[in-house]
Amino acid sequence: MMPTHCRPDVVGLAVESVLNQTFGDFELLVVGDGAIPGTAQAVKRFDDPRIRYFDLPKAPHFGYANRNVALRESRGELIGFAADDDLLFPDHLETLLRGLESGAAITYSQALWVSTDGIVAPFLTNLEFQDEMDAFRRGNTIAASCFLYRADALPNRDAWPEDVPSAADWRLWNRILDANPQSRIAYCRTPTVLHFSARRKASRHSAMPQLAEFIAIADSAAWWPDALRVPIDPDRTEQETFADLMGSTPGWCSHIRQASADLAARLAWDEIRHNRATTNRRLQAQAGQLAAKDAPPAVRSVRTPVQRIAAEIRRIPRNIIRLFRG
């Protein structure tokens, strides 16, 4: 399912990335949520019977009610999501299908987030770690395009919450998790989605603090991989630039995935080096404190009887003065 409202400039590229999947047995439900002029034309230029376009009036909020309209007419055994401004890697569906082979009710992959000026960074949420699952339960950290779930994971297909202003996708994933406690979510450890900053956010980093951190590093690190720093022509969208690379550069998907893994490894190594240096300094300080604590008290110099008498004689004038003043 691909909802769309105001992106006729890039929705065609998103549709094309779905049609280019290595696994081709699917239907693509493009849900026009009060879509602006040009949207229907961008979708209908594809002569493919797998596409079904729903031209619906604008629904409240992000059009969650219209998504349910389309899902009530869906026929697939599995349900996935594709944003109208994202690009799917050609093996996206194939990868997620393997994730469901274990019997999981829902699976997800990694996303590569793309800034408005072409900085690429991985988002590596691993819900197999309990602390990351706890964080995910409190707030979403995974792009909606990364998910695929079984249609029978919930009693009804039209399960999108319609009365919430935002984050209905996150609420849906949590509902699936709650309804299938015996079936662990499956994590596909590879990037299969290019996730771009939504135009409505007017933000270089999609208003995501994590991506902002990555960008800050990229802006200052000479070692940032070239594959993860793609110049964007001011007359083109980021999606056009990356769609060209994906479609015309042999091995590009493998190359950018490897660059993403190299970046994660480099950042982990830098973190270890920083932490190790900090730890070493702390351990050295603690060792110094322990050494000082365990050292024997300073030994007073041993004075001869003559030296002690001389010291007492030197104190006599001072004592006499104190006596008369007292």
Tell me the pLDDT tens digit for each residue of 168-184. 999 999 999 999 999 98
pLDDT band at 303; cut points 50, 70, 90: low
Tell me the pLDDT tens digit for each residue of 216-259. 999 999 999 999 999 999 999 999 999 999 999 999 999 999 99
Report the chain's terminal Cα–Cα distance, integer Å.
99
Q: Tell me which amino acid residue 36 is.
A: I
Tell me the pLDDT tens digit for each residue of 114-132. 999 999 999 999 999 999 9
Distances in Å between the Cα of 201 and the Cα atoms of 58, 117, 198, 204, 227 are 20, 15, 6, 9, 25
The reported pLDDT for the residue numbered 274 is 82
The reported pLDDT for the residue numbered 299 is 47
**What's the Rg (C-alpha) of the chain?**
32
The reported pLDDT for the residue numbered 298 is 53
* 157 vs 294: which has the higher pLDDT: 157
> pLDDT at residue 311 above 60?
no
The reported pLDDT for the residue numbered 249 is 96
**The two structure tokens encoding residue 121:** 């960074």
> pLDDT at residue 215 above 60?
yes
Q: Percent of the chain scored above 90 by pLDDT?
A: 79
Task: Quote the pTM value.
Answer: 0.84
The reported pLDDT for the residue numbered 58 is 98
Averaged pLDDT of the chain: 90
Q: Domains plus CATH for the chain? A: 2-272 (3.90.550.10)
- If DSSP codes are grouped into helix, strand and coil, which group holds residue 188? strand
CA atoms within 13 A of residue 247's CA, in its CB half-sphere? 16
- If DSSP codes are grouped into helix, strand and coil, which group holds residue 78? strand
- Find the mean pLDDT for residues 266-277: 85
- Find the mean pLDDT for residues 31-43: 98
pLDDT band at 291; cut points 50, 70, 90: low
Query: Which candidate, 113, 166, 121, 119, places its Cα nearest to that of 260?
Result: 121
pLDDT band at 310; cut points 50, 70, 90: low
User: What is the CA 121 to chain-centroid distance, rounded?
Assistant: 8
The reported pLDDT for the residue numbered 175 is 98
